[in-house]
Amino acid sequence: MMQKVTFVIPTLNEERRIARCVMAILPQLNEGDEIIVVDNGSTDKTNEIALKLGCRVVKESKRGLSNARNAGAKAACGDILCFIDADGKVSPDWLEQALQELSNPKISAVSGLNIFQSEDPVKKFWYNTWTVGAYTFVMSFHSLFSWTYLVSNNMAIRKSTFNVLGGFESVVGEDFWLSHNFGKKRSFKGAVNLRMRVNLSSRRFVQNGFLKTVFLDWIVDSLTRTPQVKYKTLDKQDKTLDKQDKTLGY
């Protein structure tokens, strides 16, 4: 029997992006699958758009990506949880690739490849050169030590596995610490599938700066387990994504 899938999308004032995210997922769903949009305190039309597109909307008053994702996972009916952010667009065969990996009963979770978008070709090249380098390191580590980095906004994981891990911690680098806990469980094995692509906004780089984001926010704050409440809401527009959203009529 085919396992049911729940996509979990955390949101906070994502009316410009949520339709694009959801509409990339909808054609891939099978009967009984669902999309849960977790409202983390939106004051715009995010929930209205999500409901119009057939999503379930779950409210989570405690701010933070981890709290929102955990709330969505708790409400999920699916056997497999797929975590995507509202500013991401999955590739057309993302779910097919994820389910193919998870058809192996020995695999508990799988992550894919994030590709950052930008109108500036130089910045796009720079962002994704760094991404390729990071993924090369992760893939090498995976091959040598069978340790899988689970990317929090590009991941499919068995709900039973997620529950055993206790969900995401409410700290910066929540995916690093989830991966750390996953790696300590000898019975859990992960996979990396580079065909599970997500086109992702570069708005955090635009708002906070690329080097600051990578080295201070992602590396230093992750290693020091800085609480997620430190992060401010991302309010910079991403012109590349906003142009695409306009074509959807939202």
Any idea how long the chain is?
Answer: 250
Does residue 244 carry a pLDDT above 50?
no
Q: Is residue 241 part of a domain?
A: no
Boundaries of domain holding 14? 5-234
Q: Is residue 157 part of a domain?
A: yes
Q: Is residue 153 part of a domain?
A: yes
Q: Are 98 and 26 in contact (CB under 8 A)?
A: no
Q: Is residue 225 part of a domain?
A: yes
Residue 207 has what pLDDT? 85
Q: Is residue 250 part of a domain?
A: no
Does residue 230 carry a pLDDT above 70?
no
Q: Is residue 247 part of a domain?
A: no
Q: Is residue 248 part of a domain?
A: no
Spatial distance between the Cα atoms of 92 and 25, rounded to a whole number of angstroms: 8
Residue 1 has what pLDDT? 64
**Lowest pLDDT segment from 88-92, 105-109, 183-187:** 183-187
Q: Are 228 and 172 in contact (CB under 8 A)?
A: yes
**Lowest pLDDT segment from 18-27, 130-139, 154-163:** 130-139
pLDDT in tens, 10-43: 999 999 999 999 999 999 999 999 999 999 999 9
Does residue 246 carry a pLDDT above 50?
no
Q: Is residue 243 part of a domain?
A: no
Secondary structure element (H or E) that encloses residue 165, with its range: helix 159-165
Between 101 and 135, residue with greater pLDDT: 101
At 9, which CATH number? Answer: 3.90.550.10
Count the domains in the chain.
1
Strand order in the sheet with 189-201: 56-59, 34-39, 5-11, 80-84, 154-158, 107-117, 189-201, 88-90
Q: What is the mean pLDDT of the chain?
A: 89
